[in-house]
């Protein structure tokens, strides 16, 4: 067959971009470029709202897209990718650390549920220390064992610290406002724009909730991007409770009450 054979020469035949009731659907070449445009649009919307800092959480199998750290400059975020097997992923990680703010871990997880180290809470335990989730984390195996993080998902929105809230019984803390979900076949790579991929952006609240639950699960099994463990070694730990300490505490409380203390 004479003539061009690269897919980019047939972009006019496959590229589609249409709107749905809650967002948009793109198909063809350049899907990741459109995602970066949505990142810029979210930044603009957050700035116009004057509420918080633009935020992102997301996952993909691979990351080597040189333009992504610049697109996310000033964001607070956490991206999770399959455990790195390539030097270019490590280079992007270093760039992300310079351009993207880490996320406060207890903005995503209840302080009584997740900690950075094995913890057994008792009745007199001090509050658990806060922890940050760096802009890039990894999950899975460095070796060729089966299974990898392959889902391409993201949430865009904003994060802010609220010290006064209505109703007043809500304690001060970090709060998210997720505005849209992104589901795609495209990895966070420079080569993705040369592939025929798809991307779905949606503001549907139910879908946002499902993507949030999924990404929190990916973060729960993740590690720091420079982890030296060849196997899956989740860094976040489930907080446990010292049952015997609580039994002793309430037993003593009952004794003291009976004695009239």
178 compared with 109, residue with greater pLDDT: 178
Taking only the tens place, the pLDDT of each residue in 7-29 is 777 778 888 999 999 999 999 99
Output the average pLDDT for the chain: 86
Q: Give the residue-averaged pLDDT of 130-142.
A: 90
Q: Between the CA of residue 75 and those of 97, 111, 134, 139, 166, what are the distances in Å?
A: 11, 23, 12, 22, 26
Question: What's phi and psi for 249, nearest 5 deg?
Answer: -65, -50
**155 lies in some domain:** yes
**254 lies in some domain:** yes
**4 lies in some domain:** no
**8 lies in some domain:** no
For residue 149, the 8-state DSSP code is: -
Nearest alpha carbon to residue 32 among 218, 224, 195: 195
Assign 169 a pLDDT band (cuts: 50, 70, 90).
low
Taking only the tens place, the pLDDT of each residue in 231-249 is 888 888 776 665 666 666 6
Would the pLDDT of 120 be above 70?
Answer: no
CB count within 10 Å of CB 256 equals 10
Count of residues making up the chain: 261
Q: Give the residue-averaged pLDDT of 120-142.
A: 78
Residue 21, domain extent: 13-258
**127 lies in some domain:** yes
Q: Give the residue-averaged pLDDT of 93-110.
A: 91
Q: Give the residue-averaged pLDDT of 181-210.
A: 96
Q: How many domains does the chain have?
A: 1
**5 lies in some domain:** no
CATH of the domain at 166: 3.30.870.10
Whole-model pTM? 0.85
């Amino acid at each position: 067959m004479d003539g061009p054979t690269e897919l980019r020469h047939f972009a006019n035949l496959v590229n589609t971009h249409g709107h749905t009731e809650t967002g948009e659907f793109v198909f063809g070449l350049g899907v990741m470029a459109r995602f970066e445009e949505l990142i810029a649009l979210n930044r603009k919307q957050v700035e116009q709202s004057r509420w918080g800092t633009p935020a992102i959480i997301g996952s993909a199998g691979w990351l080597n897209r040189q333009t992504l750290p610049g697109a996310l400059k000033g964001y607070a975020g956490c991206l999770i990718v399959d455990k790195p097997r390539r030097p270019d992923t490590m280079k992007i990680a270093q760039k992300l650390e310079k351009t993207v703010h880490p996320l406060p871990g207890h903005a995503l997880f209840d302080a009584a549920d997740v900690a950075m180290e094995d913890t057994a809470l008792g009745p007199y335990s001090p509050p658990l220390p806060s922890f940050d989730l760096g802009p890039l984390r990894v999950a899975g195996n460095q070796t060729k064992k089966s299974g990898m993080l392959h889902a391409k998902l993201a949430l865009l929105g904003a994060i802010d610290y609220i010290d006064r809230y209505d109703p007043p019984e809500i304690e001060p803390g970090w709060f998210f406002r997720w505005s849209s979900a992104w589901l795609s076949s495209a990895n966070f790579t420079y080569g993705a724009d040369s592939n025929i991929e798809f991307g779905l952006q949606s503001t549907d609240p139910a879908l946002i909730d499902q993507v949030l639950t999924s990404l929190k699960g990916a973060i729960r099994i993740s590690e720091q991007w420079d982890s030296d463990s060849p196997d899956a070694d989740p860094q976040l730990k489930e907080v446990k409770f010292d049952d015997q300490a609580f039994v002793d505490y309430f037993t003593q409380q009952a004794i003291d009450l009976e004695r009239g203390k």
